[in-house]
Amino acid sequence: MATQFSPNDMRRGQVSQSGSPRPKNHTICRNILIYGHCRYKDQGCAFNHDTNQNKGSPIQEHQQSGKKALNVESPSFTPITLQQAAKKSTFSSQAASAAPFTPRGPSANTTPNPPQAADAPVFNPSNIREFQPQTFDISNAGSPNNQSAANDSTYSIENFGMAPIAQALPPPVPFNPYATSEHSAISSHGAAYYQPQFATPLAPPQYHLYAPIGPYREDLLPYQRVTHDFFISERLRDELQKKSHATLQTMPNSPLPQLEKYHSLFPLDTSNRKNTAIFGYPSWVFKAVSSKDGKYYCLRRLEGYRLTNEKAIHAAREWKKVINANVVTFHEAFTTRVFQDSSLIFCHDYHPLAQTLYEHHFATPQPHPRGRGLGPVAIPENVLWSYISQLSNALRAIHHAKLAARCLDMTKIIITDKNRIRLAATAILDVVQFEATQPRPVADLQQEDLVQFGKLMLALASSTPQADHVNNNIQRYMDSLPMKYSASLAEAISWLISPPAPGDKTKHIDTFISNIAMHVMNSADQALRASDSLTSELTRELENGRLVRLLCKLNTITERGEYAGEVAWSENGERYPLKLFRDYVFHQVDDQGRPVLDLGHMIRCLNKLDAAAEDRITLVTRDEQSVFVVSYKDLKLLLDRSFNELLKRTKQAQNSPGTVLVPGI
Ligand SMILES: Nc1ncnc2c1ncn2[C@@H]1O[C@H](COP(=O)(O)OP(=O)(O)OP(=O)(O)O)[C@@H](O)[C@H]1O
């Protein structure tokens, strides 16, 4: 049963909207209004219980008095929940007879609203429509099935007085890390609500901070670093050092002659046999230093070659145009008699520790992976595809330069890195067979290249180094291919080997490349990944060169014996903090007096010195009697000033040999 309002409850409503107290006996008791009688009428209820005095509702009364209908004196509105509404209505009998609710909107034109005072909106509880939950899927509003719902203004979003979201929000500002952080720029969007998107001003790069670039080691705790994190990997260092050692290798008491433009010849042939199979002349390969630029080159000597036509040697010049990652760059060809004969010399780039494909795969018998003794091991298919892609790249460059390789032999293709191959003996046959091939069109020679390419791959895939063996049994080897490799590899080799139909101009290296595009992409991906890992290695060394130069500077200043007694260069003056800094960085001891060899500390200190950081450090004299508190910035200033001082004293001639350490570095 509904509880009647007690007079005490009504006290809250005793202040009119204007703020002035209103006499209670003019106000009709709400219990009368709601229940028709008031239990407290005779028990002190101060409100008016005379229903005849005011025939109208209190609302009408307010209308008459010109007051706003909805104020604190209005009958209290009790919101109902759905369940409560289902149980019982708290509305009065007036509410029951109220006109049904008609939503506003376009339909209002056809269905008139109940009459209301035009100027003053009247609060009428009967106008309150109970909330009816609706299942309306906005996302489907546009679908044909929901078209009627979408058209129904009851569900229109405008009816709820809401602007579409896109209008309510300012247009999105694209993120630009390089944008200036001026506040005006941000406030110009008029949205104080939004945080500035990139408020930090651009600062110069912090060179003393190492930015780790992947791939990363997984087995370390997140904060751990090892010494090798600051240097290139041991494997790469070893490889590069071996190459550098091979480059610098000399032969004491060498019987080899000195050429006009090249000296310090060093033989690269591992066998002493005189093989004439490829060029028709025995060939010998040397590493040599150019007298002109001091760089290392690879010289190939064709023994006993007699030049009869000057044009032949000029034919080789065309090869200078071919600059390709899979072709050893050709430089020049000349004849010489320094070997006590008439020799033809070809000069190419030198690639230290290069091996021919033959040497790599067949020269040293390899243990069989399944323990079946020694012998040639089948080359994995991905390696073969990598070779195919690289040789295609080389042939493409050569054919587009209107030349032909003519020398696709596994003893004339070198491996300079893991699976990285290059055509090594270019230009030679163009000179040596100049007269013989002169009448032949280049297109024919290029077709021959494709066939040679196919036979080379067949020999590698069948682990058969003898070219003539393969030549005589092509079909047999082709038949055995599908047992070891995919059909696509067999198809590619077969396409290369089979001669083109007469008049068929589609047999071209470009056609071949487009046929194997998928495998070329794999090779490109491998090459890019290799390049990524090299870049990562390089970044480790990035700062070290800078630190070496800093160390050189520091050591030119500290402990100079010749200036020890000089007041101008006294180590008790400006140079003293630098000397103490050197002790602080490199000669630290622990509380037991044992040396602390913390590479991280050394690198950190040197980097901060180089970056002239504001951090302060405490430098203690060796006798522990004085202490200096000094910032890296101050030390950097002292370092630069002292080094400049040294430079002034230097009588170094501008053209003196050697590398000059300049102050700016
Ligand atoms: N541009 C080069 N840079 C460095 N080394 C090279 C270069 N070209 C060839 N070599 C190396 O020189 C060596 C001899 O090469 P060569 O072409 O004579 O091979 P080979 O097996 O001796 O062939 P042949 O039996 O025809 O003489 C090989 O180990 C090869 O790797």
pLDDT, tens only, 27-71: 777 777 777 777 777 777 787 877 665 444 444 444 444 444 444
Our answer on whether the CB atom of 508 is closer than 6 Å to any ligand 1 atom is: no
Task: State which amino acid sits at residue 130.
Answer: E
Residue 648 has a pLDDT of: 83
Return the ligand 1 atom nearest residue 356 CA. 31
Closest by CA to 61, choosing from 2, 1, 122, is 122
Higher pLDDT: 583 or 72? It is 583
Residue 661 has a pLDDT of: 53
Say if residue 598 is in the same domain as residue 503: no
Say if residue 432 is in the same domain as residue 561: no
Say if residue 502 is in the same domain as residue 633: no
Q: What's the domain count of the chain?
A: 3
Strand partners, 290: 262
Highest mean pLDDT among 199-203, 562-566, 608-612: 608-612
pLDDT digits (tens, 9 = 90+) for 378-388: 899 999 999 99
- Rounded CA-CA distance 354/34 in Å is 106
Is position 143 within any domain? no
Our answer on whether the CB atom of 412 is closer than 6 Å to any ligand 1 atom is: yes
Is position 166 within any domain? no
Say if residue 504 is in the same domain as residue 629: no
| Residue 177 confidence (pLDDT) above 50 | no
| Residue 461 near residue 380, CB atoms below 8 Å | no
| Residue 215 confidence (pLDDT) above 70 | no
The pLDDT mean for the chain works out to: 74
Question: What's the CATH number where 498 sits?
Answer: 1.10.510.10
Say if residue 559 is in the same domain as residue 599: yes
Say if residue 263 is in the same domain as residue 386: yes
Our answer on whether the CB atom of 619 is closer than 6 Å to any ligand 1 atom is: no
Tell me which of 224-228, 408-412, 522-526, 600-604 is least confident.
Answer: 224-228
Say if residue 487 is in the same domain as residue 574: no
| Residue 119 confidence (pLDDT) above 50 | no
Say if residue 327 is in the same domain as residue 471: yes
Tell me which of 167-181, 232-246, 392-406, 514-528 is least confident.
Answer: 167-181
pLDDT digits (tens, 9 = 90+) for 526-575: 999 999 988 888 887 777 888 888 999 999 888 887 777 776 676 667 78
pTM above 0.90, yes or no: no
Is position 170 within any domain? no
> Domain boundary residue among 99, 134, 155?
99
Residue 405 has a pLDDT of: 96
Residue 228 has a pLDDT of: 65
Say if residue 418 is in the same domain as residue 284: yes
Residue 354 among known ligand-binding residues: yes
Say if residue 635 is in the same domain as residue 571: yes
Residue 412 among known ligand-binding residues: yes
State the DSSP string of 324-357: -TTBPPEEEEEEE-TTSS-EEEEEEE--TT-EEH
| Residue 44 near residue 29, CB atoms below 8 Å | no
Is position 91 within any domain? yes
Residue 616 has a pLDDT of: 95
Tell me which of 97-111, 413-427, 545-559, 572-586 is least confident.
Answer: 97-111
- Return the residue whose CA atom lies nearest to atom 8 of ligand 1: 424
**Domain span at 363:** 250-367+375-529
Say if residue 582 is in the same domain as residue 497: no
Is position 665 within any domain? no
| Residue 357 near residue 460, CB atoms below 8 Å | yes
Q: What is the mean pLDDT of residues 468-494?
A: 91
Is position 574 within any domain? yes
Our answer on whether the CB atom of 472 is closer than 6 Å to any ligand 1 atom is: no
Say if residue 17 is in the same domain as residue 89: yes
| Residue 227 confidence (pLDDT) above 70 | no
Is position 470 within any domain? yes
> Domain boundary residue among 505, 529, 553?
529
